[in-house]
Structure 1
């Protein structure tokens, strides 16, 4: 499952995990995993329970009252959103969620209207082209041109080829997704967005990591948000490793390094032989150092990035997964912390220059 090979004086990681998604199957030939939206009668119990109850009828009447009073309420509310509204404690949170759904619905309507306008413009251009006099030389892509058109499909194929190559030869980077049970819905939504950005950034990089999602629970309701947001990633032919197994069962334990802001040891330099782990955990509340506790529990080496040597953070806490992936991509390529930390959003820092660090660096120069 894991092997390494010496190529040109450096270690390369070969065929870490089979390119397949582990999931429970009814039989060996047909996976029990749908790429379509499930029928209403196959929704999770948490969505079906209480849909005809008195609580739901009260909620519907309250929503109608808010709409009658001029509140911003969507015209259509899905069963999943009804379930989410029923789980909310007070009216203020419900009103905020209804406004979010209202904005989302309006945005979708505007997008559909824009698409219709573009279709009409395209249709008018086709009519003009059809009525144009014949026999004249036409210039443009696929016509009289020295350049060939690169299609979107061709671009995707090139990017996917890079990922396939990374799966065989590049340094692994693990995202640990074992914290779904500790997160609320909004935190899972934020995690999904960060994962999507991380996968895209890694895919577009010149030297991508062999990105691996470990400890994935495909049966979890919260995982379905990942599938809903990124359906292509869950398909078996997407060049990325997704597994229910733990990283301890896949990679050599002595190579694993858990990156957590609560670690005692600082990273001195980027180790191209190490296998770094990023915790797939978004905490929008005050909480315990979950990732550091897990690293200690599993007896894995943990480190933190030396951000304080270069910047003073406004608030001590976790960076987003997409920020961490960008930092590690730059460290892998350039080995320069100062350059890599430019990926940290400026809103998290006190100043944009290095003048405030002179006294801080003098303190560290003693060691």
Structure 2
């Protein structure tokens, strides 16, 4: 009990202690006492920092050689996370202790948490949400560590093979790239320029496709991050296609969460030479209203044929939490034509599977539908896990022909030139 009383005196506020005691047993507190992370309210020129201390010696980890290092020893600037809000600062102190207790309990907690991670944690209302987020970060950390380990192992094997090849002198010409190619290396930058050339041509002559990025206020932080990743994949799928769309990202907010995350994926997003139309304007200000068609799964009108003169609009939203028909309401309010993909007409959905599609799957369907005009080919991008295994209406009929996707494209391309 003496250790527990000493632990109490080390905490900054009684409120923090009451919050912790609701979730921590006495044995866990004894364990936490010997390896405690607490707030050292020492003032530096313009910031307050969180320092990790060991046991009760009062020395930091850098000054104690026999102290077991606690993960995440990076000094966190409290003012950067809380913007000087005393309530948020108090909550952040509690989060420091909560994460440390979870780590000592053996939960899946990442070794390093940066400022952005703490900002996400401080905005989460429940402990279960924070636990799930920490588990997600831990899995990403383990995945990166395993990938780095595999790279090092492959590098070591490659170096050993090169050493063996150098010792062999059979009189033949030794080509470059580990003696396995007579061709020059094609760099990633060259491939990127080749892919971007198709987008530049599409920006001049291609059909326009709009992504409505005005749903930030209706998405959670995790949904915004997921939406940004899907937008990145959407751009990539469009760029890799042989006949891409002329993409427009409308209603964007450069200070919004989604665009900030997207900018992390694509560093050159706002450069003048980047082959993508990004604007804060609405699509109503850019295109004639009679040409706009909003694709929403909540309307009744099915899109049976592809209109090459229409400007289709995709809602840039991930609605895992909010299931309200926001895109339907927006299209009705603006008086636009609406349509939905004829998924039920061509597919048999499995029990319990949702009919929602990601943004990159949507553009894959539209690209192939525009190129071939065949729904059976376009809907191949719907994940197989969402439909029944014996779906004879679509997959069985297509696979019986024994045609691959490239052969089908070649058939349609040949027919178009004849």
Counterpart in the other structure of 1:77: 113
SS in 1 for 2:257: coil
Q: Residue 131 of structure 1: CA displacement?
A: 6.1
- Equivalents in 2 of 1:142, 1:235: separation in Å? 37
Residue 200 in structure 1 maps to residue 236 in structure 2 = yes
5+ residue gaps, structure 2: 1-75, 395-418
| 1:95 CA drift (Å) | 1.5
Counterpart pick for 2:138 among 90, 94, 102: 102
In 2, Cα distance between the equivalents of 1:56 and 1:238?
Answer: 40
Q: CA deviation at 1:181?
A: 0.8
- Quote how far apart the aligned CAs of 1:101 are: 1.4
Q: Return the match for 1:346 from 384, 390, 394.
A: 384
Bigger Rg, which one: 2
Residues 207-246 of structure 1 mapped to structure 2, 5 A cutoff: 207-246=243-282
TM-score (norm 1): 0.77
Instruction: From 302, 306, 310, give the equivalent of 1:274.
Output: 310
C-alpha distance in 2 between matches for 1:236 and 1:125 = 45
Is the CA contact (8 Å cut-off) linking 1:208 and 1:329 kept in structure 2?
yes
Q: How does 1:1-367 map to 2 (within 5 A)?
A: 49=85, 53-121=89-157, 123-124=159-160, 136-140=172-176, 147-314=183-350, 317-354=355-392
* Aligned equivalents of 2:386, 2:211: Cα separation in 1: 23
C-alpha distance in 1 between matches for 2:159 and 2:191: 27
Aligned-residue CA RMSD in angstroms? 3.0
Alpha-carbon distance between aligned partners in 1 of 2:130 and 2:153, rounded to the nearest angstrom:
35
Aligned length: 317
Larger deviation, residues 158-167 vs 227-236: 227-236
What secondary structure sits across from 1:53 in the alignment? helix
CA distance in 1, matches of 2:194, 2:393: 43
Aligned partners of 1:267 and 1:331: how far apart in 2? 11
Q: CA deviation at 1:46?
A: 6.0
C-alpha contact 1:270 1:332 (8 A) present in aligned 2: yes
| Structure number with higher relative contact order (C-alpha < 8 Å, ≥ 6 residues apart) | 1
Contact 1:259 1:277 in 2 (8 A): yes
Q: What secondary structure is seen at the aligned counterpart in 1 of 2:137?
A: helix
For 1:277 and 1:146, how far apart are their aligned partners in 2? 47
TM-superposed deviation, 1:132: 6.2
Q: Which deviations, in whole Å up to 9, do the C-alpha atoms of 1:332-354 show, x marking residues without a partner?
A: 11101122112111222245423
| Cα pair distance change 1:154/1:301, threshold 3 Å | same
Q: Distance in 2 between matches of 1:157 and 1:147?
A: 20
For 2:197 and 2:169, the matched residues in 1 are separated by 44
Q: Which runs of 5+ in 1 are unaligned?
A: 1-39, 357-367
Deviations 1:306-334 (A, max 9, x none): 22211233556532111110110011111
